[in-house]
A and B are shown apart, each in its own frame.
Chain A
Amino acid sequence: MRVLPYGARAAMVDFDDPSEVLGLHASLEQDPPDGVVELVPAARTLLIRFDPGRTHHDRLAGDVLDRSTVDVEPREAAEIVVPVRYDGPDLADVAAAAGMSAEAVVRRHEDGTYVSAFCGFAPGFAYLTGLDPALHLPRRTSPRTRVPAGSVAIAGEYTAVYPNASPGGWQLIGRTTLPVWDVEREPPNLLAPGTRIRFTS
């Protein structure tokens, strides 16, 4: 774990072990150091934004490095079940690339228990970890200009649900009618970092 400077108002914690991101996030949320204004988890990093009037980089780095993330349980969050219709336009290509049948792709995707690691790309777009390594495939060589809302997709080590219609390069294997993002809801995102997710057809 390293703490890198990110200008005068933020620090980036860089992890060797990505599973430690949620642990440190939970620890800093439960017991925030003075001056911290926002925590933003990502794939292998945690951004800490701070008020430079109340703390500074070295003090924050000292506090973070003193913490043990090993003992911290990621925040207890409800398990969310996402109903999926596995009829995505890339399902056959994914099956061919993974060297298995479409049915096997669906079974392996359904068998996983996923954890929301972080959000990015678009409001409510959660990167879910726990995808079967047999399904770790690159993105499409040419991204689609429009991916429909509710598309269930995979790319690299992640699976995700597109919250809204947007461009996108992930492999589309299915779709759900469950709204994972609703600005009228509090909170608007269903798949907050730390949430466990299962997909079921």
Chain B
Amino acid sequence: MTAKIEVVRPGVFATVQDLGRPGLAAIGVGRSGAADRGSLRLANRLVGNPESHAALECVLGGLVLRFPAPATIAVTGAPCSITVGGRAFGSDSPIPVGPGDELVLGMASHGLRCYVAVRGGIDVPPVLGARATDTLGGLGPPVLSSGMTLPVGQEVQAHPGVDLAPRAPLPDVPVLRVGAGPRVSWFTPAALSTLVSSGYVATSDVDRVGVRLGGPALSRARSGELPPEAAVPGALQVPPSGQPILFLADHPVTGGYPVIAVVEEADLDLAAQVRPGQRVRFRLS
């Protein structure tokens, strides 16, 4: 019989995520998947899962799960307090869970997204080859809610044989490397230097689609409408307000505003941990 986990409380917002649905953008389906892919991969490795297994992504912690059967879990991403059966544990470590135990995540002290992997993976039915919830495309399992149960799969690898995966702490002001975007010529020559020389602040509009930033406006050199064109994660799209929007995992497949620059794929995990009100900087790579 397949083990199940019960969602006692989902916290602010929690979803099932894996590495998403690459290669389907031409039919209007974005990659989606974990916003912080490195943390998802690490959580899976720590419990002896293939990196591609589905786990839980939760915003700012606050998640409570009940495990009817014994399990091995790991929590990565934004640091938060972790208790299992009333005992405290650390992030980035395999954690044994006894039958009937509850996992309680406190509020994240830094960063935005925590990942909870369970040995065997979250085994909800895949949609188009992935178990990720695409919040914009409306694909994959529903957003977690109290009382929901999540099946645990059985496909595993050997235990990794480590107690802890040391990770650098999340920076207070992340520096995200950018390359030129396709519509950089739509902006004044000063706009790109403004982007990389000024600080920006994440507004309260932060979700899996993107981060709306506040800061010096990026001025356009030409006006006019842009027909829809394909976007990639990390794209910095600039609406008429001049305030850039940084696209994350569930970004639209096509966008309608010019993209001035693109955050490097290697820095997207850091970008996914930016919380509302936090400062970010951009640097030309």
Q: Hey, which bits of chain A sit against chain B, CB under 8 A?
A: 4-10, 12, 14, 37-47, 49, 118-127, 164, 166, 183, 187-189, 192-193
Separation of A121 and B180 alpha carbons in the complex (Å): 24
Q: In the complex, which residues of chain B have a beta carbon less than 8 angstroms from the beta carbon of A166?
A: 138
- On chain B, the residues within 8 Å of A124 by CB distance are 27-28
Asked if B138 and A164 make an inter-chain contact with CB atoms under 8 angstroms apart, the answer reads yes
Q: Does B182 contact A (CB under 8 A)?
A: yes
Q: Which of B27, B232, B252 contacts A6 (CB 8 A)?
A: B232
Q: Tell me the B22-38 residues at the A interface (CB within 8 Å).
A: 22-23, 25-29
Contact of B26 among A8, A14, A41 (CB under 8 A): A41
- 10 cross-chain pairs, A with B, having the tightest CB-CB distances, nearest first: A7-B262, A120-B254, A119-B28, A43-B227, A47-B230, A40-B230, A12-B182, A4-B182, A45-B229, A42-B229
Known: A5-B179, A8-B262, A123-B138. 16 other contacts (CB 8 A): A7-B264, A8-B179, A8-B285, A10-B262, A14-B182, A38-B26, A40-B254, A45-B182, A47-B229, A119-B28, A120-B253, A121-B28, A121-B253, A123-B27, A123-B139, A183-B139
Q: Are A42 and B227 in contact (CB under 8 A)?
A: yes
Question: Which size bracket describes the interface of B in this complex?
Answer: 35 or more
Q: Which residue of B27, B29, B232 contacts A7 across the interface (Cβ within 8 Å)? A: B232
Residues of A with C-beta under 8 A to B181: 5-7
- Contact of B10 with A by CB under 8 A: no
Q: Check B254–A121 contact: CB distance below 8 A.
A: yes
> A24 → chain B, closest Cβ, in Å?
13
Which residues of A have CB within 8 Å of B127? 183
Cα of A193 to Cα of B254 in the assembled complex, Å: 14
A65–B84 Cα distance when bound, in Å, is 59
Q: Which residue from chain A places its CB closest to the CB of B136 in the assembled complex?
A: A122
The one of A46, A122, A127 in contact with B138, judged by C-beta atoms closer than 8 angstroms, is: A122
Q: Inside 8 A of B29's CB, which chain A residues have their CB?
A: 123
Query: Which residues of B from 209 to 248 have beta carbons under 8 Å from A?
Result: 227-230, 232, 234-235
List residues of chain A with CB within 8 A of the CB of B178. Answer: 7
| Residues on A with beta carbons closer than 8 Å to the beta carbon of B28 | 119-126, 189
A188-B23 Cα distance, complex, nearest whole Å: 14
A192 / chain B contacts, CB cutoff of 8 Å: 26-27
Closest Cβ–Cβ distance, residue B171 to chain A (whole Å): 21
Q: Chain B residues near A8: list those with CB within 8 A.
A: 179, 262, 264-265, 285
Query: Are B179 and A119 touching (Cβ within 8 A)?
Result: no
* Cβ contacts under 8 Å, A118 to chain B: 26, 228, 254
- A43-B228, A43-B229 known; A122+B262 contact, CB < 8 A: no
Instruction: Show 10 residue pairs from A and B whose CB-CB distance is below 8 angstroms, ordered by the A residue.
Output: A6-B232, A7-B263, A9-B265, A10-B232, A10-B262, A40-B26, A40-B254, A42-B227, A120-B230, A121-B252
Name the distance in Å between B137's Cβ and chain A's nearest Cβ: 5
Q: Assess the B228–A42 pair: CB atoms within 8 A.
A: yes
Given the complex of chains A and B, what is the CA–CA distance between A189 and B234 in angstroms?
26
- Of the candidates B138, B139, B229, B253, the one having the most CB atoms from chain A within 10 angstroms of its own CB is B229
Nearest A residue (CB) for B225:
A156
Distance in angstroms from A172 CB to nearest chain B CB is: 19
Q: Which residues of A contact B164 (CB under 8 A)?
A: none
Quote the shortest CB–CB distance from A75 to chain B (angstroms). 12
Q: Tell me if B259 counts as interface (CB < 8 A to partner A).
A: yes
Expressed in whole angstroms, the minimum distance between the Cβ of B244 and any Cβ of chain A is: 14
- Nearest A residue to B263 via CB reads A7
| Closest residue of B by beta carbon distance from A14 | B182
**B113: min CB distance to chain A, Å:** 22
Residue B12 interfacial (CB < 8 Å): no
Decide if B232 touches A9 in the complex (CB within 8 Å). yes
